[in-house]
Amino acid sequence: MSRPLTFQMMDTHAGGDVSRIVLGGITPLPGATVREQMHYLRDDADGLRQLLLFEPYGIPEMSVDLIVPATDPEAAAGYIIMEVMGYPIYSGSNTICTATAVLEAGIVPKREGVQRFKLEAPAGLVSIEARVENGVVEAITCEGLPSYIDTHRASIHVPEVGDVTYSVAYSGGFYALVEAAELGFDLSRDEERALADCAHKIVEAIQAERGFSHYTLGDVGPLPFLHFMGPVERVGDDFYRSRSATYVHPGVICRSTTGTGTSARLALMHHEGRIRPGDRLETVSLRETGFIGTFTGTHREGEHQVVENTITGKGYVLGHTQVVVNGDDPLVACAGLTHILEDNRSDR
């Protein structure tokens, strides 16, 4: 490139997890659905994810959401989620941030009070409810994916950790669920590095021992997530609270408890007979931020009792950025990227 190319981005966060929303400057991607466009980005244009999640532009703890035109006429916009582990088909925190961004960017006109619209994730249509007060998006409630328990209280020997009891839920990705206290953790912020090290060993051991298959999606790759569970406290007739921490392989403890982690907790609590439809669970992170998951119902999918749920949180806008991509910079790897950047150079 003789001169830099640029694209537009809005940085946001929900619960402390930063989602970098790419709003413009990317060419239309091939694919009849947002899921197919995600596959193209993953297989032929992974440079965008790598650019924004690694130095000098970012860090692996962030996520990226690319806004694309919806292919379903019911949706206001589509979005593709990118994380250090790859391309999840759904994420609660990324959905909260994306819904906030499309309102703040005017893609969906912002109105006072409660408004509803739909977005198209790689997983399909997602219903959104936004609460706007005095022009501020105060809360986003989004559908969590139908979630279920694949494995309940299995045991595995993990080198340097010992015997670990875990359950596995699917809630947009497969999650290993472990009791933090059984592993010696209180879920305080100063344990973050130790939590990541412990989770890395457990996930590596589970991946080496077995794989998991979704009842309709089939093989969705190695288990990428682990969720540390604190004790569940009942704080109201239909309201529970629990400290929590979500790990993303390899090496990342999320700043938030994550929406999919919260959905996985609801699935486990239902499986163990501890909640009823209408009950809510607030998961509280190492940074004292929280998401509220609401258990809305169940249905059968073959042998699985599937939990329907919603996730509520707040997204915050951190900044508006024009990203400059300079191919002459030795720290910038442009392979897998330049062919999807719009040619916005002044010398074209």
Active site positions, annotated: 91
**Residue 162: left (phi > 0), alpha (psi -120 to 50), or beta?**
left
Give the angle 259-264-265 at the CA atoms, nearest 5°: 100
Query: What are the residues whose beta carbons fall under 8 Å from the beta carbon of 289, sequence distance 6 or more?
Result: 15, 16, 255, 256, 257
Give the angle 28-222-42 at the CA atoms, nearest 5°: 15
Residue 149's SS3 state is strand
Q: Do 100 and 65 form a contact (C-beta atoms < 8 A)?
A: no
For residue 38, which amino acid is it?
A: M
String of b and e for 283-316 (b: at least 16 CB within 10 Å)? Answer: bbbbbebbbbbbbeebeeeeebebbbbbbbbbbb
End-to-end CA distance of the chain: 11
